[in-house]
Amino acid sequence: MLLAFIFHLKTYDERGFTLMMTPARTHLSRLLASLALAGTVLVTPTVQAGVFNSSTVADLLLTGITTTDPNGDFTGLTIDGFPDFETDTFGTGTANVDANVEFFDDPFGVGVGIDAVLNASSNAQAGKGEIVDALADSFAFIDIFNGTDDEITIDFFLNWDLEAAASAPANGDAYAEAFFAFEAIGNVVGGNDFISELIIADALFGPPDAMTSGDNPFTLLLEPDGLATIDIATGTIGFADGIPVPVPPVSMLMALGFVTLIGARLGVTARRAKS
């Protein structure tokens, strides 16, 4: 390309020095434009990001409580709730986590009873060169003791909702889980005494999103001095990473320049042969 430029620059006629550099200027402009474009790609690579979201909600509702005591006296019956939760994040991306347990005492106004609401959620996004993990767990432990001289029946209604989603481009990755577990230990006379649910969203292997929900009405029968426990767990966990789009290596850019240069030389040679 440079030789073609010099050849045109040094062309003379009888009127003196004449610049005949239009063909060379055209090819040189194309070469510079291609190199400038390649330089832009090197300086500002496109960022790919991985993203995940997951959440769980569980509600335990007291729907009925009866006693064989003719006066309907529940004195001596105790129902105590103990919450626990955990949240954590790792890595350099952006993450949000939340876990919460709420108890509502005596929903029927009979002096005893409990409702519980559990929430756990986590979401994260990873940018260029970032990897991030996040988790959130919530637990509710309920102890029931019948300190009366009568038989007591307690009815509960449990429901839950789980959602998870993960997305990432071809070179990124994201993964999310949401889970729920329930166990009632004691004399369970209606409904299920154990339930476990797990959903997974995977950006690479699928599915990219998942959800499930369910419910479980159950009944506990407590004899005098009888014990029962209810354990509920909800949780979410996931990770995401982001990778910059690969840019062309320097050798490829040099090859592109050589190809452009050869094309320009062939054009010059063809025009000279015609003249």
Cis peptide before 207 (omega within 30 of 0): yes
Q: Could you tell me the residue ranges of all domains in the chain?
A: 2-45+247-274, 50-241
pTM: 0.72
**Ramachandran sector of residue 35 (left: φ over 0; alpha: ψ -120 to 50; beta: rest):** alpha
For the segment 172-200, the average pLDDT, to the nearest whole number, is 96
Partnered with residue 161 across adjacent β-strands are 57, 213
Of all residues in the chain, the percent with pLDDT exceeding 90 is 63
pLDDT of residue 255 exceeding 90, the answer is no
Q: What is the pLDDT of residue 270?
A: 55
* Per-residue pLDDT reduced to its tens digit, 147-174: 999 999 999 999 999 999 999 976 789 9
Range in 18-22, 49-53, 200-204, 214-218 with the lowest mean pLDDT: 18-22
For the segment 197-202, the average pLDDT, to the nearest whole number, is 97
Residue type, 179: F
For residue 75, the SS3 value is: coil
**What's the Cα-to-Cα distance from 208 to each of 132, 160, 164, 175, 250, rounded to whole Å?**
18, 21, 8, 8, 36
* Per-residue pLDDT reduced to its tens digit, 114-140: 999 999 999 999 988 889 999 999 999
Q: What is the pLDDT of residue 267?
A: 55
Partnered with residue 83 across adjacent β-strands are 140
- Distance from CA of residue 227 to its chain's centroid? 41
* Per-residue pLDDT reduced to its tens digit, 23-68: 444 444 444 444 444 444 344 344 457 999 999 999 999 999 999 9
Q: Identify which of 209, 217, 100, 96 has the alpha carbon closest to the alpha carbon of residue 162.
A: 209
* Per-residue pLDDT reduced to its tens digit, 91-104: 988 999 999 999 99
Residue that has been written with the tokens 């910059």 in this structure: 244
Q: What is the pLDDT of residue 166?
A: 96
Q: Identify which of 103, 221, 108 has the alpha carbon closest to the alpha carbon of residue 155.
A: 221
